[in-house]
């Protein structure tokens, strides 16, 4: 079977990359093995003191940049629906001036999974990237500190000491530089940028895009050969949402809404389950059945599985603030 390869150029600290996570999940869920999704790190801010984004007044002064980045995150969150921290954001400082550590960490995670492919899920590096994004955006953790990164690696089943050795290797820096050269093809790079490849043909799409737009691009590039799996998994039923949660273990309302193409009520925030047609009733049934519960996360909240007893999944619940 010819797969559609989707390469996402991203930075774990980019709010629009964080906001695109529901779309990536929806593509993986709806298309199954017909798509292969990979990330290339775009290295958005190599040094905040020399970085300049005049539109957002970000760059140069560290304290001012922190304030304006957080302001932008809150504004973006209302649009893309992925929660962010309401206070406590202070990612950059005189000592921590770069997003390179987070980029290196995502590359190291990919290497880690390849080196341990007999014992690790093939997509464990994607789980790590999502965890890193969540820790940065929602929990205001200082994810450009190596000790924080190594602690986070354990939450997806990595051995921190082994992960640290990979992270500090020259191979990681070499792969990052290789990715940056590939990014130059899309200069000036907008994050996220998508590169779709199918049977020798390719198409690029820049910036935050909806699931529907990406689905149209997939159909166009593949001449209709790659299409969502037609097994009814897209129907917003209790059973399907239960199955979705069993795959991802936790989800924000917008992630469920995107995977099942639920309409958002006009004028409603993307952060709330009540904003999406039919979602509150289905969630209420799963809560009543004792299958899922809810935890506050930043300016939103998360659904998580209750009957999830593995050590890793218990740790995920702990991270969600549920004990």
pLDDT level of residue 319 (50, 70, 90 thresholds): very low
Region 183-196 average pLDDT: 86
Indicate if the pLDDT at residue 108 is higher than 90: yes
Residue 90 included in any domain = yes
By the 10 Å C-beta count (0-12 exposed, 13-18 middle, 19+ buried), 204 is classed as middle
- Specify whether 31 is located in the same domain as 114: yes
Domain boundary among 153, 168, 185: 185
What does pLDDT average to over the chain?
91
Q: How many domains does the chain have?
A: 2
Alpha-carbon distance 27 to 37, whole Å?
Answer: 9
pLDDT at 247: 87
Region 138-156 average pLDDT: 96
Residue 214 included in any domain = no
- Specify whether 71 is located in the same domain as 160: yes
Residue 285 included in any domain = yes
Indicate if the pLDDT at residue 322 is higher than 50: no
pLDDT at 320: 41
Decide: 319 and 154 in contact? Cβ < 8 Å. Answer: no
pLDDT level of residue 38 (50, 70, 90 thresholds): very high
Region 19-39 average pLDDT: 95
Residue 210 included in any domain = no
Indicate if the pLDDT at residue 260 is higher than 80: yes
pLDDT at 184: 84
CB within 8 Å of 81: residues ≥ 6 apart: 19, 22, 252, 253, 254, 257, 269, 270, 271, 300
Decide: 71 and 17 in contact? Cβ < 8 Å. Answer: no
Structure tokens at 144: 């450009």
Query: Helices 160-167 and 100-115 meet at what angle, rounded to 10?
Result: 120
Residue 89 included in any domain = yes
pLDDT level of residue 298 (50, 70, 90 thresholds): very high
pLDDT at 323: 29
- Specify whether 171 is located in the same domain as 273: no
pLDDT at 66: 96
Residue 195 included in any domain = no
pLDDT at 266: 85
Domain boundaries, position 46: 4-185
Residue 310 included in any domain = yes
Alpha-carbon distance 225 to 36, whole Å?
Answer: 15
Region 73-82 average pLDDT: 95
For a pLDDT cut of 90, what percent of the chain falls above it?
A: 80
pLDDT at 308: 60
Region 89-98 average pLDDT: 94
Indicate if the pLDDT at residue 47 is higher than 60: yes
């Amino acid at each position: 079977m010819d797969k559609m390869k989707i390469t996402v150029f991203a930075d774990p600290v980019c709010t629009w990359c964080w906001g695109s996570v529901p779309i990536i999940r929806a593509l993986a869920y709806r298309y199954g093995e017909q798509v292969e999704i990979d990330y290339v790190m775009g290295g958005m801010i190599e040094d905040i003191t020399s970085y300049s984004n005049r539109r957002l007044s970000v760059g140069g002064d560290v304290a001012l940049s922190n304030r304006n980045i957080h302001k932008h995150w809150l504004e973006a969150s209302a649009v893309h629906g992925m929660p962010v921290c309401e206070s406590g954001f202070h990612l950059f400082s005189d000592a921590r001036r770069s997003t390179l550590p987070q980029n290196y960490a995502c590359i190291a995670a990919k290497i880690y999974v390849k080196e341990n492919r007999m014992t690790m899920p093939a997509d464990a590096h994607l789980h790590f990237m999502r965890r890193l994004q969540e820790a940065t955006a929602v929990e205001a953790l200082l994810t450009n500190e190596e000790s924080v990164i190594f602690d986070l690696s354990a939450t997806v089943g990595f051995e921190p000491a082994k992960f640290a050795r990979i992270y500090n290797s020259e191979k990681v820096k070499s792969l990052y530089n290789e990715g940056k050269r590939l990014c130059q093809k899309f200069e000036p790079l907008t994050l996220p940028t998508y590169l779709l490849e199918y049977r020798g043909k390719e198409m690029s799409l820049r910036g935050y895009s909806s699931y529907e737009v990406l689905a149209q691009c997939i159909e166009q590039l593949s001449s209709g050969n790659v299409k969502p799996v037609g097994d009814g998994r897209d129907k917003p039923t209790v059973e399907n949402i239960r199955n979705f949660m069993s795959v991802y273990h936790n989800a924000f309302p917008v992630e469920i809404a995107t995977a099942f193409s639920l309409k958002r009520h006009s004028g409603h925030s993307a952060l709330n389950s009540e904003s999406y047609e039919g979602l509150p009733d289905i969630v209420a049934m799963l809560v009543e059945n004792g299958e899922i519960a809810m935890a506050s996360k930043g300016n939103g909240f998360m659904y998580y599985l209750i009957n999830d007893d593995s050590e890793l999944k218990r740790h995920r619940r702990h991270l969600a603030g549920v004990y």
